[in-house]
Every structure is written in structure tokens, then in C-alpha cells.
Amino acid sequence: MTHRLLTLTLAAVAMLAALTAQAQGLQLSASQRLSVLPNQLRQADFIVAVVNSEPITNNEVRFELRRVVQQLAQQQRPQPEINLLARQVLERLINDRAQLQFARETGIRIDDTAVDQAEENIARQNQINVTELRKRLSDEGGDLTLFRNQLRDQLTLNRLREREVEARARVTELDIDRYLLEQQQNTNPESHEINLSQILLALPDAATPEQISEVQAKAQRALERARAGEDFAALVRELSQATGTSVDGHIGLRPADRYPPLFFEATQNLNVGDVSALVRSGAGFHILKVIEKKKTGLPATTMQQSKARHILLRVNEQLSESQALAKLGEFKKRLDAGQADFAQLARDNSQDGSAANGGDLGWANQGMYVPEFEEVMNQLKPGQLSEPFVSRFGVHLVQLTERRTAQLTLREQRDAVRAMLRDKKLDEVYLNWTQEVRGRAYVELRDAPL
């Protein structure tokens, strides 16, 4: 089920903006939340549109508009002109109302159990229980019945869109074959995407001839070791002075024209796994290894994988976040001093399914973990421990044990193309379907929202 159709940004979460803002250090008072909109928005309520005899009021638009403005502010994104934004919000409310009516007419019903589960998910995302969620909702002036009704509406829309849109966005094997053939027939070398790993031996500013010769000789020895088969990632960690790359020296898969011309010229005729000759730039001497090379639009043939282990403490009424951070901080001190074994600490303390395996999470592809976990893990070198940190699941202490570049099977590559084509189809199908449902509804626009 695609993220676009099953977004977690529920309209009902508008009532919980204070929870999310607080978690991000962006707590807003009630007066501040109102002040993000101009004074003219605080007017007496009136009907702004009618959808199949069901009204949409100005207050509904204002409520949703406040949520959108808060999101834009938290994401530090520019805010459109307020009247334009209000019209866009009204248009979305009209579409949602027409779709909800269609869902009810075609028999979609959401029971209380599903609403309960959605409420629990929102509480979990905010690292609280349902009781605390409802208390904060009440403190913010929210209405629990309205909140649950909005959750029910969002679940209804998700189920409707899954039923109506997913079925129209199927990708066949023929679709995949046709796409791959089109990409393979593109012979422009600059249309390739390349992932390079580099070792940089830096030159000081205004280097003397003697310094240049010394660094060049060191780079030449490193090149010989790389071409003799030594592990390139280990050489990167030992020798490279480059910044802005991963701990393995990977610059990242990107179009050829986004690399410096020197790098492209040195590697354009190399195969995956080959190592370039020395490349001299203003920064120093570079040794480049081709990690991946593919035509733009073709699926990746390799993927970086990480293997890590962790200790997870869940925050609850008996263990606060600060207490969990302090406890894992003590564990880290003992591990750094060699006074404890990570696997044993994980077995004794970790509160997830990996505890029995000493916290071992196994090999994971990029994007498998939640962003706040993956961001910390990606900064670690093999064997390195993180500082304790918080995710939506609790408080973690992570150790990266290994990192590797794995070859994807042909089936995995085709699955990647299928997912890409499906996302593209979903965008097109969803837009067309939305217009169809809107076209079947009777919509009367009245006074513009203020």
C-alpha cells in the first residue's frame, strides 16, 4: 500500500499539533496557533460549499488551514498567499467529502476496532499511551468524538482509495520489459548514473614541489595496494582525507554530469569494480573505484547493506525518556571501558524481539529502518557505538557491526522497476479517479472562505 495513499498525516492529527510540535521543540500556545492566520479568518461561521446537499463550512476550512500553515512552519517551507492556500484547502475538502459519500454509498464501513487501532498508533508515534493522548487532546480544547470521527473518515478514504485506485495501477511483466528495453537503447554515456568510492590524499594550500612529490608517492603506493586487491573500504578508512562521503568512501549514485569532469573522464571507460589511475585536482590526488554504473532509469544492481545490533528501552510510566537515556549512557560507558558484553546487555535489557539474539538486527537494506534510527546508524563505522538516542519506538543504543555492498538479483532489480512504474501509475490514476468522483458529485460554491 503506497505511502501517498496511506499518509500518516491525518486531518484529525490537526487536533494533536501541539503533541508533534512539542516533540520537535516547536510547542505553540493556543494564541500563537491562532495568530499564524490573519485576523480576518476569525469570523462568524457560514457555508462556503455544498457537496451533494452536504455543507462545508468556513470553520472547517479554517481548521484545516491552520493545520497546513503549522506544518509548513514546522518544515520551514514557504507559505503561499493565504487566500490562495484557503482555496486549495477548500478544493481538497470538497474532493474528500465527495469520496466519503461515494464510500458510504458503496458499502465501506469502518468499525470501532479499526478506529481504536488508529488512535493507538497516533499515541505510539507521540510516545505516549491512549489515556495521555486523550488528556492532552482535552487540554488543547479538542473534542474526542470529533477526533475519532475524523479518524474514521480518514480510514474510510484510505480503504476506498485502496479499492478503487490500487486495482487500476497494476504493472505487468510486459510493462517492465518495455521500460527496460527503452532504457537500454539510450546510448548517451552522460545519461549513466555512477557511484564512485574515492581515496583522497590532500595537498596543503600553496604546496611546495617537495610536498606534491611526497603526497603523489603516497597516493601511488595506495593505488598499487588497491589494484593488488586490498579491501578498498579499508584503504579509505586508513588513508582518505575526503569529506562528504560515507565511511566507505562512497560518493553516492548520481548522474554522470553531477560528478566533476575529471572524475567522469577517469572512470567513463571502467567497469564496475575497476580502479582508476591517479587523478590530480586542486584538492590533491584521488583514487577512484567504480562501485556501480547504470543507465539513468535502470534499476540499481547493488545496494549498500548494514548489519547492526541495538538495545531498546521503551518509555512508559515506569521508565521516563531521561531515565532510559541515562541507563543506556551507563551501558555505553561500561562497553567503552571493556567492562561489559554488548550481546549479554541486550539479552538482559533490550525490550524487542532482537534481545534473544543479543540485539542483532541482521542485514538491512537502505531505507529499512525509520529515518531517525537510520540517520544515526549511517554515521557509524563498523564496531563503533552510538550515543543513546530517541526514536518513535523508544531509546536506543546501537553498534554497527558490518557494512557491505550486496549484489541485487535480477528479480530484485525487476521488483524495483515494478515499484517505480507503479508509483508513477498511481499518481496518474489517482488524479484521474479524483476528477471522476468530483465530476459525479453536485458541487455548489458559495461565499469564498475567509
- When pLDDT is averaged across residues 98-121 and rounded to a whole number, the result is 90
Domains of the chain are: 11-169+429-445 (1.10.4030.10), 189-295 (3.10.50.40), 302-407 (3.10.50.40)
Which of 56-60, 170-174, 424-428 shows the lowest mean pLDDT across its residues?
Answer: 424-428
Residue 5 has pLDDT above 60, yes or no: no
| C-alpha cell read off for 409 | 538479483
pLDDT at 102: 94
Q: For residues 62-70, give the mean pLDDT.
A: 87
Cα gap 264→259, rounded to integer Å: 6
322 bridge partner residues? none
Does residue 283 register a pLDDT over 70? yes
440 vs 434: CA distance, rounded Å: 10
Listed in sequence order, the DSSP H helices in 166-208 are 173-184
3-class DSSP state of 347 = helix
C-beta separation of 73 from 79 below 8 A = yes
Compute the chain's Rg from CA coordinates. 27
Q: Give pLDDT, residue 186.
A: 65
The grid coordinates listed for 61 are: 476550512
Does the structure show a pLDDT above 80 at 270? yes
Cell numbers standing for residue 55: 455543507
Band (297; pLDDT cuts 50, 70, 90): low
pLDDT at 336: 94
Which of these ranges, 102-106, 283-287, 404-408, has the smallest mean pLDDT? 404-408
3-state secondary structure of 231: coil
Distance CA 69, CA 64 (A): 9
The least confident of 74-83, 99-108, 284-293 is 74-83
Could you tell me the three cell numbers for 345? Answer: 546487555
pLDDT in tens, 20-42: 333 333 233 233 333 344 444 44
Question: How far is it, in rounded angstroms, from Cα 8 to Cα 241?
Answer: 42
Residue pLDDT, tens place only, 192-225: 788 899 999 988 888 899 999 999 999 999 999 9
Contact 267, 276 (CB under 8 A): yes
